[in-house]
Each structure stands twice: as structure tokens, then as C-alpha cells.
């Protein structure tokens, strides 16, 4: 890219925002700032510090393609290693100099051809291009349970873990059994005096071998890129990410049978107690919810000082949780592993585009963006991992890299002076949304008989509903006929 000196603001210094910084520098764009509301980089890996935190996609795939990491300690590495990877990479590529911390944006308004940003700190900025890299699972979902304010012990969300609280000798209740709840139970069973797992909907659990890589293995990955590539192919095969996506999008019955059989065998063989096994048996199709990979949850929940609670929570009382069988479960700590509001993205930021259109107007029914990247009336405002973006179980880091390539092509038009403003047309977004929703209704997220964070308020899956190959092809080059462009720039 060369030409007009664009001023770019990136929102967020998590995985996608750091990627944007690296790629801007690579393209010779130095006139940019990354605005980060917290005081550290890392996004989800900064916010989540709960015991047992790991990635749920294979480690060697959870890196930027240009910065592989031979040193991961295991197949599903702990969160601290991932946070360290991003900190290291951010500073290695010189991106840290471009980040301004403690700058939460209150509003962004498009006026006279540029974006005017106002921070809660009172600071302001003006940009030609805004890249929102604000993350998908970022806003904790804290359901209100009657009486929760009255609890005498400590109560917090998994993404706001209170490390000042000692777990020793404590009775801990964990609500929720997504990847987070399962990882916490696996880590704490046997450590606490008692750990109770409150499960509303049993989940399918895929077994995974998470044996640490040996020193020799890591040395080989370091010295021999071909060995690392080979390990990645094995990881890919084990995680079967491609077949996973095919099941979701194409109702590939053979692949579906593989996933179902593996999870079922894990349940049958992994849980000896028949009563516990039946309580843990899901009533929906595997993959309807994001599949959980765990090497040890079934052992953990069978621990003598662990308990599965499937009775409904009726209320929280000063001493603990009351369930609908009338029992009071006395607890010292309650952890809400209740997931995230996956429809928030840049909100609560007030974003106003052309002719006074606001993000709330455009997203009144549901968050939407053409290819998860561009919105009509919001010129030169592009998103990484925007609405309806996740592709099957593919690591979001890989998705962001493809999206960046596409955004860079849009920015080239601005930089060359071909046009001064670029955003998808209303018609192109509507056509895209109609096709996306129709395809989404054929996926297992919709047909599989469950609710999950993949579904929006109307029950429509908020994901890329086609296969990975189509996603990659779409990201190669914009279909320029989908875009409305302002007059040539100077």
C-alpha cells in the first residue's frame, strides 16, 4: 500500500488489535494508535485468569501464521502462556509503542469524512479509518438470580476471578458447564473442601490427550520447522476442525457419527457410576453447542469431594444456593461460569455514521455486518471478528488474519485516492443477511435442539453458516460491486 497518509485508530489491544498493529506497520502505515480501555494488552487472555484456564483449540494453531510458537508446553496450553505469547509478539513487532492504555472510547461519530472519537478519559482523536477489534466473548453474562446480593461469601464471574480469595478448605459452587465451568471443575476438584458443579444442560465432552510436550519435542519444533508443521497436521487431524465444521454446515453424516460416537464412548467409559452417568448424558445433538474438549472432567466430577448438581437453582441465600428439591447447599464461594453476552461487540460505545444513523439503529434487530466486516452508512469503519463471524471451530486468530487481508484491500482503495469513503451498500448487506440466515437455519446450531451463545435473541445462529473454504475464498478479494464509495480523495 502507498499513497495518502491515512490516520488509523484500532480499538482494542487483544489478539485482533495486535494483529492489526503488526499488519499496519508491515504495510508502512505508522500513523495509527491502538486505543485500549484496560491497562494491559491481551483481551480475553488478560481478562480470564481462572484456575484451569486453557485454550480450546490446538496450541500450534493458536498463533499468528507468521509467528509460530514451538515452545507451547502442551496441546491445550494454559492461559498464562497464551497471554505471554501475545505480550512477547506485541513487543517483538514494535506494536506496543502504538498502544494507549486506559482509553475507553465513549463515542465515535463520522463527520466531514472522518471519524471523531471521544474517550471517557476526556481525550479525543480523529481518524480516517477505524478498525474495531473489540472481541466476541468479552462482556460477562451475569444472570440475576434471586437473593444473590444477600450471599455472605464471595461471588464473582469466571472472567473476573478474585485472586484475593483463598480456595483452601472452602466450599465452592460453580454455575455453568461451558468450557469455562468444565475447566474450573477439573482444576479444583480435590483442592477445595467441596466443589459443586451446577449444570442446567449437560454437554457432550470430547476426550483429548493433553500430555505436556517433552523438552526434546519442543527442541525439535524449535530447530526443525518441518517437524512443527508435521505436529500441526497431527493436531489438526486430532481436533478434526474441518470435519467439525462440515458437520455443522453440511450435515456430513459420516463426520457427525464420528463426533457422536467419540463423545458417547467417553461418557460410557469415563463415568463408572451409572447414576452420575445418566445425569451427565446430554439431550441434544453433539456440536449443537460448542464442543468441550477435556482430558479429565469426568474424573474430576467423580472425585469424592466434588458433586454434580442438576436440580434447578431457585435462589441464592446468605449461606449458599437453594435448589428446587428444597436443599440448601452451604457455600463459601460462588463462581458464575455463565458465559458472555456475545451480541455486544463495540457496545456500549455510541457509534454514529452518515446522516445520523447509529449502531443501535442498524443493529435494532440483531448485530449484522457484511462478511462480519463492513456496515452500510459507517464508511471506513471495519471490524475484525465482527458479528456472525466465527467459522465453525476454527481458531479466531486464523479468521482474523483472513479478515485483515480483506480489510487491507479496502484500505488500499482509500490510500490510493480511488475513493474517500467505503462501506458496504445497504442492498448488499440485506442480500447477504437473507442468504446467511437461510443457511444458518440448516446448521446443527439451529437444528440440534439446544440453546447456546451461537444463537441470537431470535434463535438464529450468529456464525458464518458456510464452510471454511468459502470463507477463505470470500476473504481473498472484495466483490467491489457490494460497496458504496465516496468521491475520490485528494
Residues in touch with ligand NA7 (CB under 6 A): 56, 137, 143, 175-181, 200-201, 290, 337-339, 451, 453
State which residue, 134 or 338, has the beta carbon closest to ligand NA7. 338
Residue 96 CA, chain-centre distance (Å), reads 22
Q: Which residue lies nearest ligand NA7, judged by its C-beta?
A: 178
Q: Judging by beta carbons within 10 Å of its beta carbon (0-12, 13-18, 19+), is residue 202 exposed, middle or buried?
A: middle
State which residue, 323 or 374, has the beta carbon closest to ligand NA7. 323
Asked if residues 331 and 221 have their Cβ atoms less than 8 Å apart, the reply is no
Cell matching residue 190: 480435590
List Cβ neighbours of 242 (8 Å cut-off, separation of 6 or more): 236, 468
State which residue, 74 or 201, has the beta carbon closest to ligand NA7. 201
State which residue, 35 or 455, has the beta carbon closest to ligand NA7. 455
Cell matching residue 270: 469415563
Phi, psi of 111, deg, nearest 5: -145, 135
State which residue, 105 or 199, has the beta carbon closest to ligand NA7. 199
Residue 245: CA count within 13 A, CB half-sphere: 19
Cell matching residue 233: 497436521
CB of 302 to ligand NA7, least distance (A): 19
CB of 468 to ligand NA7, least distance (A): 17
CB of 413 to ligand NA7, least distance (A): 34
CB of 35 to ligand NA7, least distance (A): 25
Rounded CA gap, 109 and 356, in Å?
9
State which residue, 310 or 425, has the beta carbon closest to ligand NA7. 310
Q: Where does residue 3 fall: left (phi above 0), alpha (psi -120 to 50 degrees), or beta otherwise?
A: left
CB of 48 to ligand NA7, least distance (A): 8
Q: Judging by beta carbons within 10 Å of its beta carbon (0-12, 13-18, 19+), is residue 366 exposed, middle or buried?
A: middle
Rounded CA gap, 141 and 45, in Å?
17
CB of 184 to ligand NA7, least distance (A): 9
Rounded CA gap, 473 and 469, in Å?
6
State which residue, 12 or 392, has the beta carbon closest to ligand NA7. 392
CB of 291 to ligand NA7, least distance (A): 9
Cell matching residue 88: 512477547
Rounded CA gap, 248 and 67, in Å?
30
CB of 339 to ligand NA7, least distance (A): 3
State which residue, 404 or 453, has the beta carbon closest to ligand NA7. 453
State which residue, 72 or 98, has the beta carbon closest to ligand NA7. 72
State which residue, 29 or 175, has the beta carbon closest to ligand NA7. 175
Q: Which helix (H) or strand (E) holds 82?
A: helix 79-92
Asked if residues 236 and 61 have their Cβ atoms less than 8 Å apart, the reply is yes
Rounded CA gap, 85 and 68, in Å?
10
Give strand ranges (E) for 79-190.
99-100, 105-111, 114-119, 124-127, 129-132, 154-157, 171-175
Amino acid at each position: 500500500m502507498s499513497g495518502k497518509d491515512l490516520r488509523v485508530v484500532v480499538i482494542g489491544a487483544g489478539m485482533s488489535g495486535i494483529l492489526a498493529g503488526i499488519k499496519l506497520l508491515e504495510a508502512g502505515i505508522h500513523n495509527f494508535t491502538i486505543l485500549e480501555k484496560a491497562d494491559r494488552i491481551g483481551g480475553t487472555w488478560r481478562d480470564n485468569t481462572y484456575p484451569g484456564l486453557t485454550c480450546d483449540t490446538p496450541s500450534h494453531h493458536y498463533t499468528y501464521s507468521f509467528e509460530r510458537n514451538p515452545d507451547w508446553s502442551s496441546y491445550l496450553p494454559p492461559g498464562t502462556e497464551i497471554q505471554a505469547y501475545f505480550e512477547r509478539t506485541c513487543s517483538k513487532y514494535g506494536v506496543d509503542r502504538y498502544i494507549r492504555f486506559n482509553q475507553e472510547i465513549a463515542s465515535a461519530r463520522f463527520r466531514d469524512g472522518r471519524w471523531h472519537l471521544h474517550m471517557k478519559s476526556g481525550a479525543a482523536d480523529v481518524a480516517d479509518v477505524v478498525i474495531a477489534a473489540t472481541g466476541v466473548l468479552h462482556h460477562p453474562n451475569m444472570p440475576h438470580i434471586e437473593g444473590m446480593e444477600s450471599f455472605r461469601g464471595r461471588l464473582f464471574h469466571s472472567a473476573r476471578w478474585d485472586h484475593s480469595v483463598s480456595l483452601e478448605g472452602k466450599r465452592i459452587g460453580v454455575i455453568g458447564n461451558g468450557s469455562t465451568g468444565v475447566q474450573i471443575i477439573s482444576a479444583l476438584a480435590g483442592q477445595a473442601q467441596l466443589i459443586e458443579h451446577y449444570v442446567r444442560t449437560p454437554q457432550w465432552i470430547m476426550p483429548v490427550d493433553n500430555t505436556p510436550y517433552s523438552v526434546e519435542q519442543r527442541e525439535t519444533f524449535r530447530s526443525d520447522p518441518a517437524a512443527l508443521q508435521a505436529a500441526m497436521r497431527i493436531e489438526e487431524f486430532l481436533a478434526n476442525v474441518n470435519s467439525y465444521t462440515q458437520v455443522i454446515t453440511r450435515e456430513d453424516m459420516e463426520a457427525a457419527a464420528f463426533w457422536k460416537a467419540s463423545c458417547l464412548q467417553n461418557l460410557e467409559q469415563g463415568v463408572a457410576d451409572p447414576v452420575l452417568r445418566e445425569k451427565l448424558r446430554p439431550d441434544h445433538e453433539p456440536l449443537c453447542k460448542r464442543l468441550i474438549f477435556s482430558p479429565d472432567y469426568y474424573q474430576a466430577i467423580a472425585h469424592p469431594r466434588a458433586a454434580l448438581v442438576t436440580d434447578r437453582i431457585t435462589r441464592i441465600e446468605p449461606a449458599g444456593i437453594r435448589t428446587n428439591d428444597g436443599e440448601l447447599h452451604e457455600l463459601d464461594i460462588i463462581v458464575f461460569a455463565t458465559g458472555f453476552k456475545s451480541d455486544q461487540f463495540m457496545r456500549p460505545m455510541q457509534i454514529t455514521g452518515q446522516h445520523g444513523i447509529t449502531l443501535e439503529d442498524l443493529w435494532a434487530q440483531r448485530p449484522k455486518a457484511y462478511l462480519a466486516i463492513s456496515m452500510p452508512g459507517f464508511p471506513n469503519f471495519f471490524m475484525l471478528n465482527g458479528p456472525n463471524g466465527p467459522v465453525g471451530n476454527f481458531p479466531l486468530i486464523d479468521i482474523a488474519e483472513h479478515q485483515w487481508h480483506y480489510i487491507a484491500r479496502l484500505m488500499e482503495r482509500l490510500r490510493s485516492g480511488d475513493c474517500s469513503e467505503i462501506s458496504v451498500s445497504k442492498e448488499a448487506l440485506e442480500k447477504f443477511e437473507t442468504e446467511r440466515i437461510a443457511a444458518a437455519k440448516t446448521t446443527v446450531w439451529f437444528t440440534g435442539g439446544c440453546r447456546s451463545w451461537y444463537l441470537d435473541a431470535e434463535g438464529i445462529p450468529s456464525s458464518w453458516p458456510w464452510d471454511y473454504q468459502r470463507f477463505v475464498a470470500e476473504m481473498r478479494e472484495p466483490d467491489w460491486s457490494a460497496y458504496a464509495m465516496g468521491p475520490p480523495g485528494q
